[in-house]
Amino acid sequence: MKSCKPCIFCAEIGNLLANYNFDKSKQCIGAMTIEIDFLQKKSTDSSPYDSDKMAAEFIQQFNNQAFSVTQQLVFSFCDKLFGLMVKDIEAMDASILRGETASGKKQKIDIGLMVGNSQVIFEKAESSSLTLVGKAKTKEARQTIINPEWNFEKMGIGGLDKEFSSIFRRAFASRVFPPDIVEQMGCKHVKGIMLFGPPGCGKTLMARQIGKMLNAREPKVVNGPEILNKYVGESEANIRKLFADAEEEQKRLGANSGLHIIIFDELDAICKQRGTGASSTGVHDTVVNQLLSKIDGVEQLNNILVIGMTNRPDLIDDALMRPGRFEVKMEISLPDEKGRVQILTIHTNKMRSFNLLAPDVDIKELAAETKNYSGAELEGLVRAAQSTAMNRHIKATSTVEVDMERAEKLQVTRSDFMGSLNNDIKPAFGTNQEDYSNYIMNGIIKWGDPVTHVLDDGELLIQQTKNSDRTPLVAVLLEGPPHCGKTALAAKIAEDSQFPFIKICSPEKMIGYSEIAKCQAIKKVFDDACKSQLSCVVVDDIERLLDYVPIGPRFSNLVLQALLVLLKRAPPKGRKLLIIGTTSRKDVLQEMEMLDAFSTTIHIPNISTGEQLVDALELLGSFTDKERANIAHQLKGKRVWIGIKKLLVLIEMSLQMDQEYRVTKFLSLLRDEGA
């Protein structure tokens, strides 16, 4: 380090001060604040300078010299020349000079003498690019990051308390602390948050409210497709424009720069995996590269927070997801019952304050009835109930008029909500009763103990799925001959489970699908099931899904491998999944090594005795007592072999005959079927 060399200017100052008598009890420097900047702008750099070492060097060079306020001088440190200006001088406490405890009194002076135990504090000049570290520097004034008018209760986010707390801990805790402490810890702020989850669960709402919560500039909200441009290089330029303000401010203010928030909606539109695009231009790849370099490149920014939102996280390039970029990954999932209470309360608050919500509306009851409803669907439910209530006060005449006398007494009632719940709004990740109601439209005919045992075992599997923490995935295979009622029993077990998510994966919905399309459709059913706390998936007629035929034999290995993976894939932590498969070709699945994918196998037999067949006829109530007695007499002591589904068809055919011929026709049809 270079020392200050005597010059003519210093000699003259020395001569002037030689005749000046200092009162050391009053004019020794206790603390001196000095404004510092590079002497020559061309010699600026971004390297941090240790203010503690700088202060020690300054005291060593200028010990026992006098300084006055507004005095300017040149200081050499680490082979760099700095321009200094004295801003403020405080006299040393006389108690310290006498070796006593400091009195705490501070006195400003215009001129003072530098001594060995003086304190030197450096303050960066305004608009200077100099970076100071250490304790011997002024604490720069900064704005608090949290908006003082922000109120968590008024945010309008329901059911996301845990997620929001986690985001605050990871992304904002370091920004609340003073920059000095963060700097001393060597801590870097989180610069990216990725919010993902099903549509309508509050990703965009949370990002918008984060912007309001922070005392930062207005967030820049960008929809992914808006970035893309048909001209070469324009898409990348659009990315650079988003970060231009943050770059300029960080160069100017350094660590004291304000926070710049950039929100990307539909991030998957521009940040797909690189190398997967079919176009020759590779626009998506260059956009991803540009975004990577801006968030965490060579000249990285520390004053940005980028929030990305998508419901397809599997499409996002892996390089964006590492720490330092989109570091905080938060799933915004379907709200639980407590969250649904909060959401419904938020959307009915205004009605309640104006006495437009009837007393019979119970928010907790509605929350219990709306399993697997997203936040957007709950808002839609409230709107549907409001429209139903308003429709009651519209006069059905030749013109559309509102009955003003009754409209003033308008109230949204429980029946309005229940009507909308049953008819208007259905959850995208919920139970579609129409799917399985067709399979059990004739009810379950308990023609014997085998049927009762299957339903009892099904109840045990339901309880195991609900209550067991060791087996979050339970898979059962119902196998038996064709037409024995496997699908109906599977649908009945699924209905009895009362799980919020029930889906039937059936070959009839995939007619004409290619192998890849069929795999994607099956995977979507299982992926959707993993988004619910409790789910039941019925995989019906597995050999038909596999395109199996005995001639050849031939089957789709692609679909087989997909099913083998999905049947064994455990759901995410805290979620439970019950899988019920049905097949008529257990032997084929055995050869395909598919039986091992199921936890257990339940056999469903055909009706095998005359007594069981007569019991089934009695439960169905299709024949008269006399006719059933005649059929029982004909079948006494004989063995039969027929599925309940086939039996229903034969009965309906027989009932089309005249009454005197019905029994004869029924027995004839049994013989023709080989039963």
Does the annotation count 586 as an active-site position? no
The answer for residues whose C-beta is within 8 angstroms of residue 560's C-beta and 6 or more apart is 546, 592, 594
* 487 a catalytic residue: yes
Catalytic residue among 212, 586, 645, 665: 645
Of residues 541, 576, 582, 615, which has the active-site annotation?
A: 541
Judge whether 127 and 147 are in contact, CB under 8 Å: no
**Which one of 487, 492, 528, 583 is the catalytic residue?**
487
Determine contact, residues 109/91, Cβ cutoff 8 Å: yes
Please state which of the ranges 126-135, 155-164, 272-281, 515-524 shows the lowest mean pLDDT: 272-281
Instruction: Give residue-wise pLDDT tens across range 449-488.
Output: 999 999 999 999 999 999 999 999 999 999 999 999 999 9
pLDDT digits (tens, 9 = 90+) for 208-222: 777 777 766 778 888
Among 568, 587, 636, 664, the one annotated catalytic: 568
- Find the helix or strand (DSSP H, E) in which 85 lies: strand 80-91
pLDDT for 2 equals 46
Q: What is the mean pLDDT of residues 141-161?
A: 60
H or E, element range at 308: strand 304-310
Out of 93, 296, 540, 615, which one is annotated catalytic? 540
pLDDT computed for residue 3 by the predictor = 47
Q: What is the pLDDT of residues 365-406, one digit of tens each?
A: 999 989 889 888 999 999 999 998 888 877 666 666 776 767
- The chain-wide mean pLDDT, for the chain, equals 83
What is the rounded CA–CA span in Å between residue 372 and residue 425?
12
Phi-psi region of 674 (alpha: psi -120 to 50; beta: other; left: phi over 0): left
Query: Is 540 considered catalytic here?
Result: yes
Phi/psi of residue 89, nearest 5 degrees: -130, 130
Name which of 263-277, 552-566, 660-674 the model is least confident about.
263-277
Mean pLDDT of 525-545: 93
State pTM to two decimals: 0.70
| Res 146 pLDDT > 80 | no
Provide mean pLDDT across the span 589-601: 93
DSSP tag of 470: S
Which one, of 537, 563, 452, 539, lies nearest residue 487 by Cα?
539
Tokens of 605: 């037999």
Catalytic residue among 124, 294, 486, 492: 486
Nearest to 612, CA basis, from 446, 480, 443, 447 = 447
Say whether 42 is catalytic: no
Q: Match 């520390």 to its residue by tokens.
A: 302
